[in-house]
Structure 1
Amino acid sequence: MARSNTDIERSDGTPDAVARLERAAEAYDRAQERVEEVGADALRDCRDIYSELQTLLERYDGRATGGGDFEAFMEFQGRVGTLTDDLPEDLPERDTFEEVDDFLQQRRLTESDFEQAREMLSPVGDLVGRLDELDEARERYKKARTDAGRRREELSDRIDELERLQRLGDADLDAPVERLREPIECYNDAVTAAFDDFRNDTPARDALAVIERADAYPLVEFQSPPEELLTYVREHDAGREPIPKLLEYADYSASKLDHYVDDAAALRSAVATRRTYLRRLDAEPVRIDWPPPSADALPWLCREYRSVIARFADESVVAALREVRRLTEREDYERLRESAVARSELTESERERLASGAVEDELSAAREARAAIGDALDTYSSL
């Protein structure tokens, strides 16, 4: 695996993802070399025998010692002998296994003999531990790569933010944004008044039907009416009343409500539990935000808004929306919009950082760090 001496200092002072990846890669290389010195297959064979022998020592310690169970004693020695018979000539620590077998084939075993056998096996444990070291090094290496990839994504997000901040800093803060604001405010005022009249004067069943049909337009973010509420206004005479009247009914006592509706319990179940939804119904989902959307997005928004507002507003409101749509035909639309966004979103602190060059310095450092991480990820491939 190739080496790199890349050394990137991150401005926030946290551990450097590149350096950690380099260290993890070097540790993995060392662990892999230690395994290859012996051979992975040979080490795995050695580990299997070592594990079985350790299991036998654990299982028979206390049973095959002193004046214990003679049958267990014989069984233990037989199993140890079977395990160590015909060991491969090239098995690592083969002599150690045979020495342990010879040591355990005594006429009598004590607990200290079992402890000494374990000590005799300790070099084998150290040797087969190289496999565990390699597994651990591999996992640390994978994690370092994952962390580096995550850091690169964070840097990309930060770079996007800083580049956007730079664009806002380049905007003309003295541009005549009222050329955009006035038509938008005119439309927003008109559609708000039209929706208020619609909500206050239209039968609830008709008003909620318009809101329900708005689901067909993804850019119009009306919350769809609850199904139980729709069913109620469609099937009961109270559905002919406008929404404010239904809300008034919902505040009546049960005895008073009996004088106004045919099924007081149904109204309380369907309407009283949806007071918050009905009270919050307003024109906000069809108003144009300020600062306005981009020149690419605004026409799509206006197209969907028109399909909805035409169901409750008169032609003058639709005409006001068309004027908003025409704003994107202006050659200076994006320039004016950028100015509006800058005025709205740039804080005093951000303006100072832009003026001092701090944003440019941070952007340069972030790009350099991202490039370094990209190079490191290319250098240290995935496993």
Structure 2
Amino acid sequence: MWKSAIKQLWKNRKSNRWIFIEIVTVAVLLWYCVDFLYVVVRKNTEPLGINLEHVYRLKLGVDPTQTIDRSNPDSIEALWINPIWQIVQLVNGYPGVETTAYYYASEPYDDNLMFQGYTADEENAYGANIRYVSENYDKVFKVKMKEGGFTDWGIQTSPQGAVVSPELADSLFHTQSATGKTFRDYYEPSLKFRVAGVSQPTKYNIYERYGLFIYTPFNMLRLAYTIPVIGFRISPEADIPGFEQRFTEEMKSKLNIGPFYLFSLSSYDYKAEVYETATGINKYVNIITWMILFFLFIIFLGMLGTFWFQMESRQGEIGLRMALGSSRKGVLNYIMTESLALFSAAFLPALIICASLAYWDVTYTYNNAMDYTWGRFWITIIATAIILAGTILVGVLIPARRAAKLHPVEALREE
């Protein structure tokens, strides 16, 4: 059947020329659309590496009238560090709160990223975004680990435990299995770390790329000059509308300890909404996505109409084949085979064009959110082929079935 269909296409090559060109053009444009949609879906399904559900973010304000002798360690501990720990304990004791931690820098859904260099061999330095965290941070954010965990987290421990991303582990030690290995801060040689664990890849928002990242404990020097953010996880039953207002009303006076006071409280869900609104990420992606979906609908209608019209004009041929003894099923199979043969012949040059565009990276990915790989190419080109072939078969099958139901004499008479 395939041989007969190919011969028929060759005989009708002049009449099929424009359909051939249309399929090639539509296939390339469709591949571009499918590739963009693939990136959007892939980035939305990629985990952040942490769980922000039911997690709240408490920011502290500082009374500028209260002075602290920064040259006196006892003054720092009594008037700055101890009040922070007291606030954390009070928050942790609030009804519904499961666990509490404090942290600083490179927060999710925030452009305030802190960058630091690290080395394992004294020669090569690798920059990584850093987040200083206290004990229980992993429990608050349910940090997903590849190996190890958040251990040796006391601020007086040396070398301090650190949790690194697999990308940083691979850069420092040329392996993602790095638990127990030591490295140091490139700019502060005395600050040494031991890998306590390797986390799952981490990013800060949906359309961010995974990169080099490190969790390190607050050391005394860092905590003395930092106003940390306090994060806490509450039980799903306690996470109801009005929680922020109730917490603020009940805890505002209690958290007024030392130089600190409760400045603001919000959920990370709200923080994500604010960030996405401020940056316009979701609005932009949604607009482009809907434009592409509309374009795909237009492509579907165009291809459907082309093959529908072609089948309507071949009713006489279908009637003749049935008059000569072909069954309805046999006629439909032949028509579908011929259409797929035409599609295959046209999709081959389209495949070459798309592969060339992919090789030269002539593609579009929002915010450079994902590397272009051949795996990505084959997924999107196969999806493109399935969509286009399905559209062509629908455009052929419906009118062909309608024509095949006609009596051969009626089909020939219409012809």
Under a length normalisation based on structure 1, what TM-score does the superposition of the two structures give? 0.25
Q: Which has the higher strand share?
A: 2
Q: Which has the higher helix share?
A: 1
Structure with larger Rg: 1
